[in-house]
Chains A and B, each alone.
Chain A
Amino acid sequence: MTGVRRVDVAVIGGGPAGVAAAVTAAEAGAGVVLVDGAPRLGGQYYRRPPAGSEQLSRGRRRHRWRAFDGLEARLEELVAAGRLQVLPGTTVWSAEGGSPFLLRTRGGDRDPLAPVGLLRARTVVLATGAHDRQLPFPGWDLPGVMTGGAAQALVKGSGVLPGQAVVVAGTGPFLLAVAATLLRAGGRVVAVVEANTPHRLLTRPSELLPGLGRSGQLAGFAALLVRHRVRYLARHRVLRAVGGDAVGAVVVARVDGQGRVRSGTERELACDVLAVGQGFVPQTDLAVQLGCPVGTGTDGGPAVTVDDLQQAGVPGVFAAGESTGVGGAELALVEGLVAGAAAARRLGLAPAVDQDLLRRRQRRVAGLRRFADALHRTFPADPGWAQRVDDATLICRCEEVTAGRVREAVTGLGAADPRTVKLLTRAGMGWCQGRICAEAVDRLCPPPPDPAAGTARMLSAAKRPLAVPVGLGALAAMDGPGPDPGHPGAGPAGPSAGGSPGPRPLSTPDQPRRDQEGPTP
């Protein structure tokens, strides 16, 4: 068992929000540890190949990187001075207690028996980011269908194109960013298929103002698409992906404002990759574990509720970036600056925090948040999806549960919420712990009586005592310090060790009970 590391501030997540928070808090005099799952800091937006593998990088660095570059230079100075420590390739899977908080970590997947790491932190900054939001359609489980984020991560992190001919589809400005990344890397984009009408954004000029920089960036993406003669199909939707062992084409059609297909507009686009996404889902697992209030964001997804100091409702816990509601990298970075300063202030390092600067940053957060909200209203994620989705469509990829089985649980067995559906069908009970299918299952359930009930049931499905799977062997070997004496009874909420005869290096809290060893005929 490794020892417990004691720190003033533990920052979880190494994207723009986390790096900004870590640098700000450390410069104010706090002892900071920055924990990040990736081999190199940057998160999704500022993703790069690992250090030493820069030759994999594609295209010139964009000017938008300057803000992050500046932060990273300061971070390196702090690291050299011993005032900030970075733990790359490390994931926090449990967070509990009150100041000090106890965080448990694990490394990569290669060594599932590696001992659990422990951090005791006086304050915690959650900067855990988001992942692509998905609404299932026929064929979405075919190899070659992937999220927009996956296509971008391949190019940015490994210098590899996902395929020869890519259709980018779904909704939101991120589709343009994905297409631009692929084009700049020399890839071929067959079409961008956008379910909504982006020009509606122009009817909200006052909300656009704070996001002028980002609007300019989007205009640049649009120009790039024109230059590469990429078809931009607004108010179109992917009806299905087709192929045998992998995707070979997608069928798209023009849709009306409710997402209904206009008959006679169906057409097939040949491709070997479909990069798809409907916006993003904030990662709120650790916030929920810590008891932070989580509400519903403008885009309908979960969002950690924060005040103007990024305080997350539990004294000593701060949240910044996408976990507080999806808003983009620029907003994440400014929120991180505020959270880092606020964490330092809480530790009694207030004199080191410039109050005027803090207030300017708070105003910037509010402006960028308004812009993000305008984007969310312009690019809603297919409100009519639940009424249309076919019974045969796979909903839960992990446990292979179809829409028909979810509906059967709802209408035949009276399930009124995702948690009951999960118990009856296993939807959301697999490896990903419902991260991918949660919204789809929720939409297939009867509508909640009121918004508060909706948030409550979303949260009930979002409770994940282990934020990532942890090896049973690693859990069993945990003989080190438990939770603080002030927080009794809060042992590791591990999976039940009973009933599993063989070794199983990785396990989820909801262990699959069927041990099928191969494909069923």
Chain B
Amino acid sequence: MPPEPMPPEPTPPEPTTPPGTGPEEFQVRLDGRPVPARAGQTVAAVLLAAGVRSWRTTRQAGRPRGLFCGIGVCFDCLVTVGGTPNVRACVTLAEPGDDIRTQQGTGWPLPVPASGTGAAAGTGAAGGTEKAAGTEKAAGTAAAGGTEVAR
């Protein structure tokens, strides 16, 4: 007999410790907004724990993408970190102060840094300031995504 489909829980459970406060906790930024992280977590885990399920759009159809293979094989979870586009969120550990940007298409040119620091350093994208963010869409697909596992 087919059981009734059950709706997902509406709200994520609260982490038992306030995020971003403990000794092994820190903040990163996603498109400028602060996101709590814990040392040892991957960028993908940090984003999913914050309820963000997608952080990239595809080159052709502009479709939202997020975590898929989770072990560095499929390159679906690409994201811009510290001005470097096409970083695999699933195998890259988050670091304190990381400037994470949702990525559109190839990731070039780089988005404008929100606070005048950070992005576009080092790798020298030509015309890197032309395409202002416009990345809200992908970040906005958040909804009730992952949950931090309570301790």
Contacts and interface: CB of A to CB of B under 8 A. Distances in A.
Interface of A: 37-39, 44, 49-50, 52-53, 55-56, 58, 108-113, 131-132, 141-147, 149-155, 157-165, 185-188, 190, 231, 245-246, 249, 265, 267-272, 283, 397-400, 430-432, 435-436, 469, 501-506, 512, 514-520
A487 B92 CA distance: 35
A462 to B, nearest CB: 13
A190 B76 CA distance: 25
20 contacts: A44-B71, A113-B123, A131-B73, A132-B69, A142-B64, A153-B90, A154-B70, A159-B45, A160-B49, A164-B12, A246-B141, A246-B143, A267-B2, A270-B6, A397-B76, A400-B61, A431-B74, A505-B86, A519-B104, A520-B61
Label chain B's interface by main secondary structure. loop
B44 interface: yes
Nearest to A437: B74
Contacts of A149: 69-71
Contacts of A144: 53, 66, 145
Chain A CB count within 10 A is highest, among B2, B9, B49, B70, for B70
Interface string B117-138: 0000001111000010010010
A272 B143 CA distance: 9
A38 B91 contact: yes
B59 A154 contact: no
B101 interface: no
A505 B125 CA distance: 10
A55 B24 contact: yes
Label chain A's interface by main secondary structure. loop
Contacts of B92: 108-110
A518 B143 CA distance: 22
Contacts of B81: 109-110
Interface of B: 2-3, 5-9, 12, 24, 38-42, 44-46, 48-49, 53-54, 57-76, 78, 81-82, 84-88, 90-93, 104-106, 108-109, 123-126, 131, 134, 137, 140-141, 143-151
Contacts of A164: 8-9, 12, 144, 147
A399 B61 CA distance: 10
Chain B CB count within 10 A is highest, among A143, A501, A502, A504, for A143
A424 B51 CA distance: 39
Chain B CB count within 10 A is highest, among A56, A113, A436, A501, for A56
Nearest to B147: A161
Contacts of B75: 398, 430-432, 469
B65 A146 contact: no
A436 B6 contact: no
Contacts of A502: 108, 125-126
Contacts of A436: 68-69, 73-74
A407 B86 CA distance: 30
Contacts of A132: 69
B151 A55 contact: yes
Contacts of B49: 158, 160
A245 B51 CA distance: 13
Nearest to A159: B149
A151 B70 contact: yes
Kindly list the 5 A-B residue pairs having the minimum CB-CB distance in the complex, ordered from nearest: A519-B62, A150-B70, A53-B40, A158-B45, A431-B75
B87 A110 contact: yes
B77 to A, nearest CB: 9
Contacts of B90: 150, 153
B41 A56 contact: yes
